[in-house]
């Protein structure tokens, strides 16, 4: 009997309960800047786009588990409700973050006059609780993997 209680306790901790559903959607996303321009080489711009992505996620109830911004691409592990599809979450994160980024960084319009910050390419992979630590470590160590140093 004790094992059943422990299993149900861990079940309660990991999964979200709603009226007609139980579970948790977690995805690893990656997307690039248009033309692979290194827009986020400076710490200021890296922090700005990170804040824009987090703001876009917060406005739509998307939880960011891990976020890593590289000079020309972004890695992100997110958790979201069943009402969203993976493509819809990507659309929200990329679209709203680009809009917010251009509002706060007017000179970026010189490089992207049409307002398309992100390229059409993207990567998405589902993540389970078993893989979560491995994927989080992968996202955290992208600076080492790419040998990036941020500019002041």
Each residue of 52-98: pLDDT tens digit? Answer: 999 999 999 999 999 999 999 999 999 998 889 999 999 999 999 99
- Cβ atoms of 42 and 49 within 8 Å: the answer is no
User: pLDDT band at residue 47, thresholds of 50, 70 and 90?
Assistant: very high
> In angstroms, rounded to a whole number, what is the distance separating the alpha carbons of residues 137 and 132?
9
Chain-wide mean pLDDT for the chain?
A: 88
Say how far residue 35 (Cα) sits from the centre of its chain: 20
Enumerate domains of the chain plus CATH numbers. Answer: 34-146 (3.30.70.1290)
């Amino acid at each position: 009997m004790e094992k059943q209680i422990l299993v149900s306790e861990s079940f309660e901790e990991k999964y979200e309960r709603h009226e007609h559903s139980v579970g948790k959607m977690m995805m690893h996303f990656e997307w690039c800047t248009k033309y692979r321009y290194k827009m986020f080489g400076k710490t200021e711009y890296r922090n700005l786009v990170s804040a824009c992505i987090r703001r876009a996620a917060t406005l739509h109830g998307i939880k960011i588990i891990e976020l890593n911004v590289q000079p020309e691409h972004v890695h992100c592990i997110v958790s979201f409700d069943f009402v969203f599809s993976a493509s819809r979450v990507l659309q929200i994160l990329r679209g709203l973050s680009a809009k917010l980024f251009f509002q706060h960084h007017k000179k970026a319009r010189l490089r992207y006059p049409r307002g398309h910050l992100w390229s059409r390419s993207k990567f998405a992979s589902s993540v389970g609780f078993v893989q979560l630590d491995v994927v989080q470590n992968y996202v955290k160590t992208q600076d080492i993997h790419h040998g990036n140093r941020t500019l002041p």
